[in-house]
């Protein structure tokens, strides 16, 4: 027994292993988190998890049609079908949350860059102190039309259009005139 040759060849890779799909999915998540720097690590992880969950839901119907309505789909082992589902989910995620998002943001950015300075009437505008001097992703959830300026102490002020927050204090006209549609950096 001691003289029998040992098999030292490495195991062959198998595309039907479900670990392949999980590994590719985790790699895509990791790369996205590393390459983006628009917010905190927790926010990026939550965003990419939500985006992938939405992509998985959108990928489910085409996957089930392929899996159970086609001859080749029914013949695939479960591990291979799982890998195809993961690949479909990643493709949908890339198309919706990277390509489409970038395209829309660049289009919206081009439209709003022309109207950065406030040129309207100050009547009816209200303001609210955020209590923070840091720009964060939480500012993305303000009502449409909200403008921003920074006070001398560094705090960011929200400026609401007429009728949005009528019970808030009246807007400081100097802050409103210098306000922008994006939070000041």
Task: Convert the pLDDT of each residue in 80-138 to its tens digit.
Answer: 899 999 999 999 998 988 888 778 777 666 555 434 566 677 788 999 988 888 888 77
- The per-residue pLDDT for 108 is 65
Q: What is the dihedral of CA 105, 106, 109, 114, to 10 degrees?
A: -160
Domain closes at, from 80, 113, 146: 113
Q: How many domains does the chain have?
A: 2
Do the domain assignments include residue 5? no
68: phi then psi, degrees, rounded to nearest 5: -110, -10
Edge-to-edge strands, sheet with 147-150: 126-129, 156-160, 147-150
Distance from CA of residue 28 to its chain's centroid?
14
- What is the SS3 assignment for 180? strand
Are 48 and 76 contained in the same domain?
Answer: yes
Are 109 and 139 contained in the same domain?
Answer: no
Do the domain assignments include residue 121? no
Write out the residue range of the structural domain in which residue 147 sits: 126-177
- Mean pLDDT across 47-57: 90
* Residue 18 scores a pLDDT above 90: no
Q: Which two structure tokens, joined as six digits, stand for 54?
A: 């939405």
């Amino acid at each position: 027994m001691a003289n029998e040759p040992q098999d030292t060849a490495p195991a062959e890779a198998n595309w039907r292993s479900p670990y392949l799909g999980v590994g590719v999915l985790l790699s895509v998540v990791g790369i996205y988190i590393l390459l983006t720097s628009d917010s905190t690590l927790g926010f990026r992880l939550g965003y990419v998890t939500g985006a992938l969950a939405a992509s998985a839901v959108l990928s489910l119907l085409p996957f089930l049609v392929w899996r159970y309505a086609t001859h080749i789909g029914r013949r695939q082992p479960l591990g291979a079908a799982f890998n195809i589902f993961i690949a479909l989910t990643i493709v949908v995620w890339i198309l919706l949350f990277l390509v489409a998002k970038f395209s829309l943001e660049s289009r919206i950015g081009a439209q709003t860059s022309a109207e950065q300075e406030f040129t309207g009437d100050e009547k009816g505008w209200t303001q609210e102190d955020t209590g923070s001097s840091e720009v964060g992703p939480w500012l993305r959830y303000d009502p449409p039309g909200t403008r921003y300026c920074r006070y001398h102490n560094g705090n960011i002020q929200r400026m609401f259009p007429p009728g949005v927050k009528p019970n808030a204090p009246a807007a400081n006209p100097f802050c409103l005139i210098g306000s922008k549609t994006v939070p000041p950096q």
